[in-house]
Amino acid sequence: MKNNRTFLLGMLTVVFVILAACGNSSDESSAGLDKQSPNNTTQNPNTDSSGADSAENDSHHDKANTADTRSETNEKADISTNELKEEDASTNQTASLKEEYLKKLNETKKEMDELKNNPEDDSTYALKKVEGDRYDVWDGLLNEVYEVLQKQLPSEEMDQLRKEQREWIAYRDNSAKEASLTYKGGTMEQLEFVAVQADITEERCFELVEDYME
């Protein structure tokens, strides 16, 4: 009987030992899981870092696109500025051309007035030569100005100017003829005719440059 009790106690002791061992194993397993969870947590920043890299790449891409947009805008601005400069240069060239011809006409007028006021002598022949020379000079300048306007004016305006010029030629000759009739049959008739032609042609040169040359 005593032996049976001793056997039972031994068996119970073995059972308790086994149960204790299982409990410790469970605790160690739980502790191991607890220790692994921080590792899992530390792995999350790696995932976040990948996202950060992606965001950084997107940021660089956006900056590159912005830089490209700014570059394109600057190029368009440069083109626009260059076009304006070219337009201003063209306007200045035209203005300079007009000023150049006005200066040329004024200098010619001064020379012709001096020639008219200082003939070689008072003979009709000498006076006719002076007026003839004046007419030739002004008529040459008129043709020169007319050629410049042919290049500058639009076709419609040039067509209108041609019509006006034909009418002006008739006006010039009729005016010269009418003025010369005052000396009809005399030595001054031809002189007056040429003198009036020269005066009207001079006026027309200034008119064309001031009114049409832009």
CATH number for the domain that contains residue 193: 1.20.1270.180
Average pLDDT over residues 175-203: 96
In a domain, 112, yes or no: no
Same domain, 3 and 52: yes
| Dihedral sign, Cα of residue 171, residue 125, residue 181, residue 179 | positive
Phi, psi angle pair for 172, to nearest 5°: -60, -50
Residue 96: predicted pLDDT = 80
Q: Which domain holds residue 203?
A: 119-212
pLDDT tens-digit map of 98-145: 999 999 999 999 999 999 999 989 899 999 999 999 999 999 999 999
pLDDT tens-digit map of 59-103: 555 555 555 555 565 565 555 555 555 555 554 555 589 999 999
The number of domains in the chain is 2
For the chain, how long is the longest CA-to-CA vector?
Answer: 187
Q: What SS3 state is found at 187?
A: coil
Q: What pTM does this model have?
A: 0.58
Q: Is 184 left (phi over 0), alpha (psi -120 to 50) or beta?
A: beta
